Copies of this chain bind each other. A is one copy, B any other.
Amino acid sequence: MIQSVERAALILRVLGAGVPRLGVTEISERVGLAKPTVHGLLRTLERHELVVQDAETGKYALGPAVLQLGNAYLDGSELRARSLLWADSLAQRANESVWVATLSGSRVIVLHHVFRPDDMVQILEVGAAIPWHACALGHAIAAYHPRIEELYEEPLVQLTGQTRTDREQLEEALTAVRRTGMAVEDQEAALGDAGIAAPVFTRGGVVAGAIGVVGPAERLLGVRRNDLLLAVRESGRALSRDLGAPRSTSAYG
């Protein structure tokens, strides 16, 4: 609604997508605004350290303040707070990495990440953004999303050879999710990795996010598949109950 804020947000998004450092000219091309306009917006954002300018190249990048805000968001997130315990116990029971995520636009944002108990060194994925159509967490959320149309506004990119980018196929998958209350993904986001996820509901029975396990496909989808499905489903239900979801939600039929 408010034009300049809209544009500032657009600039932040552009700076957050892919190329970490961009010049004024590059930005003004991507957002379709005059150079001086972009310059003014950047200077304002710079004041608050939402962006910083490289002293040498003159190019702009996101600033440390956005990290601080991200941390504040995590601190205040009820889904994350309530998921800490359940995610831990799921990781123990499944002996796999556990992710808790929510939807932002058409991407799934990882809110919490518990490492697989066995492995020592792993990369912390909190804050990572994954296209919704390429992961089990995304399917679990999308299946109960009140305005599914919005999810198809962005193009469905192909991440691996297995990624389903066809709308019909995706709708089929979502119907399956609604039937079973669970989502399973096999190497659609990254080769070798699979995921099993369950939706998480909050007060009013609306989806707040999803919880699930992530790991090598052969380990998740082999003989332990049914055990894992059960464990993830129970975690999802427990977490939903914690958040105040009504006893029987559409997924718990």
Contact = CB atoms under 8 A, between A and B. Distances in A.
Interface of A: 1-6, 8-10, 12-13, 15-17, 20-21, 40-41, 43-45, 47-50, 55-56, 61-76, 102-105, 107, 109, 111, 124, 126-129, 203-204, 206
B129 A68 contact: yes
A48 B13 contact: yes
Contacts of A124: 124, 126
Given A41-B2, A44-B5, A55-B204, A12 B127 contact: no
12 contacts: A1-B43, A4-B4, A5-B8, A5-B44, A9-B47, A15-B72, A20-B72, A62-B72, A66-B69, A70-B127, A71-B128, A124-B126
Contact of A73 (B2, B62, B104): B62
B74 A21 contact: no
Given A68-B109, A104-B65, A44 B9 contact: yes
A210 to B, nearest CB: 13
B67 A109 contact: yes
A41 B5 contact: yes
Contacts of A48: 6, 9-10, 13
Nearest to A121: B88
Contacts of A9: 44-45, 47-48, 50
B129 A71 contact: yes
Given A20-B72, A44-B1, A44-B6, A64 B12 contact: no
Contact of A62 (B41, B76, B126, B129): B76
A206 B8 CA distance: 29
A64 B5 CA distance: 18
